[in-house]
Structure 1
Amino acid sequence: MPVSQTETVLTPEELQTIETYNQHARAWADQHNTADYWQTEFDQFQELLPKGRVVEFGAAHGRDAAQLAARGYDYLGTDVATELLAVAAERLPALEFRTMSLYELELPDQAFDGFWASAVLLHIPRSKLAQALREMHRVLRPGGIGFLSVKQGVGEEMVTDPDLAGGSGPRYFVYYQGEALTTELQQAGFRVRLQYVKSVSNKTHWLVYFVERAD
């Protein structure tokens, strides 16, 4: 299991984001419980990967975990926000959740047939993106399928959302244009199978990717 022996130092922005999710874990979970938010994407994922072992990066409170398990996947959920994972484990006791960093996944090489990474890479500094993608690539078998989504836009910022239930501290966001992220994915060893923009409101536009490990 060749993971880095040197733990990646998190930036203050990353630490603040994790703290925000942990402080408001239950309120966040209650507000973000729309089971069919990614319904079209779940269907597409299953078309590309009908069955198999799937790891979720950024499992949070388990909303997507429930959907993946219901579709018959052998599931493992990971996240760095321990309080969110505690909610997931409480609500879905039959599933396995582990606390771990996307920068150093404590998982074997090529152990999974697929991965699910909804709204995860948008919290990772652009300078660390390649490292995270390398780890995602490492644990996926050749030909394995991955789903990921990030917010479309330019730049990066700390955002405090006053509309979140329970109040919200600041969270760090990095925004992407499709061409730039496609290049990063290809350099990490992924082949883009499908990419499109999913608009859910006037201000929220998701860049959606389905990728395949190319080697």
Structure 2
Amino acid sequence: MTIPLSDLEKIAALTLEHYNQRADDFRDGTRDHDVSQNIAALLRHIQGTPPFAILDVGCGPGRDLRTFSKLGHTAIGVEGAARFVEMARADSGCEVWQQDFLQLDFPDSRFDGIFANAALFHIPSQELPRVLRQFHATLKPGGVLFSSNPRGGNEEGWNRGRYGAYHDLDAWRGFMADAGFAELEHYYRPEGLPRDQQPWLASVWRKQDR
């Protein structure tokens, strides 16, 4: 079933409002989350000489923008929630673009890497191919995309005020391959736990010529 534009706009607006209303609590609750494994997974696959140009998709309050900057890279955030945009600009000192998944506007061949940590699962499945093609276009040749999403059985819908799509590995591989990406690695998080206690699927992909 195709989701009409009016419903897509509602999905985007209500999900972003959920975060806007809880922005301070979200920042406080995630400030100390350790995503160093994910950042390292992106950076080790980028070819060339640093510093790298990194696009942090769904950058939230700016925690990871600060990390990339401290590592010497040029990081730009993209975020739909207005409160997060304000926080990220203030806390990281980085450039942050306010855009949601319905109105992404990226320059061509700008970035060495895209970091999409806990962000892409909010995109309805029917819109995901378009968004991934936009990511493909904004990466430099051979650029790298990292994603981490809560995994599931390919169901989607509303979950506690937010819209989410919960893909398994095979489905995610299909979306990425169709968009022109080749898999570099994948793993489940948190580290060191049984698989049924690892709700996050992380994966790294290289842009292929199309």
1:63 corresponding residue in structure 2: 63
- 1:178 equivalenced with 2:172 (yes/no): no
Which residue does 1:208 correspond to in 2? 202
For the residue of structure 2 that corresponds to 1:193, the secondary structure is strand
**1:108 offset after TM fit, Å?**
1.4
Q: Which residue of 2 aligns with 1:197?
A: 188
8 Å CA contact 1:57, 1:102 repeated in 2: no
* Alignment CA distance shift 1:14-1:102 (3 Å): closer
Query: Partner of 1:5 in structure 2?
Result: none
Secondary structure of 1:209's partner? strand
SS at structure 1 position matched to 2:171: helix
Contact 2:106 2:134 in 1 (8 A): no
- From 7, 29, 53, the equivalent of 2:27 is 29
- CA apart distance, 1:11: 3.8
Q: Highest relative contact order (Cα 8 Å, sep 6+), 1 or 2? A: 1
Residue 104 of structure 2 aligns to a residue in which SS?
A: coil
| Distance apart, 1:106 and its partner CA | 2.4
Q: For structure 2, list consecutive stretches of 5 or more residues without a partner in the other structure.
A: none
8 A Cα contact 2:9 2:102, kept in partner:
no
Partner of 2:38: 41
CA–CA distance in structure 2, aligned partners of residues 26 and 199 of structure 1: 24
- For the residues of structure 1 that align with 2:68 and 2:101, how far apart are their CA atoms? 20
For residues 138 and 65 of structure 1, what CA distance do their matches in structure 2 show? Answer: 22
Runs of 5+ in structure 1 lacking a partner?
Answer: 1-7, 161-169
Q: 1:123 to 1:204 in 2, by over 3 A?
A: farther
CA 1:179–1:135: 2 relative to 1, 3 Å:
same
Q: Distance in 2 between matches of 1:210 and 1:192?
A: 6
CA RMSD of aligned residues (A): 1.8
For normalisation by structure 1, the TM-score amounts to 0.85
Would the aligned equivalents of 1:26 and 1:87 in 2 still touch at CA under 8 Å?
no
Q: Deviations over 1:149-192 (max 9, x none)?
A: 111112123222xxxxxxxxx11111010011101101101111
The residue number in structure 1 matching 2:179 is 188
Whole-angstrom distance in 2 between the partners of 1:185 and 1:87: 31
Equivalenced residues, count: 197
- AA matched with 2:53: R
Secondary structure in 2 aligned to 1:127? coil
Cα offset, 1:102, TM superposition:
3.5
Q: TM-score, normalised on structure 2? A: 0.87
CA separation in 1, counterparts of 2:21 and 2:114?
27
Q: Which amino acid aligns with 2:136?
A: H
Deviations 1:41-64 (A, max 9, x none): 222222222531111110110111
Aligned residue runs from structure 1 range 1-215, under 5 A:
10-35=8-33, 37-49=34-46, 50-92=50-92, 94-154=93-153, 155-160=155-160, 170-199=161-190, 205-215=199-209
Comparing 46-55 and 136-145, the one that deviates more:
46-55
* Structure with a larger share of its residues in helix: 2
Secondary structure of the residue that 2:145 maps to in structure 1?
strand
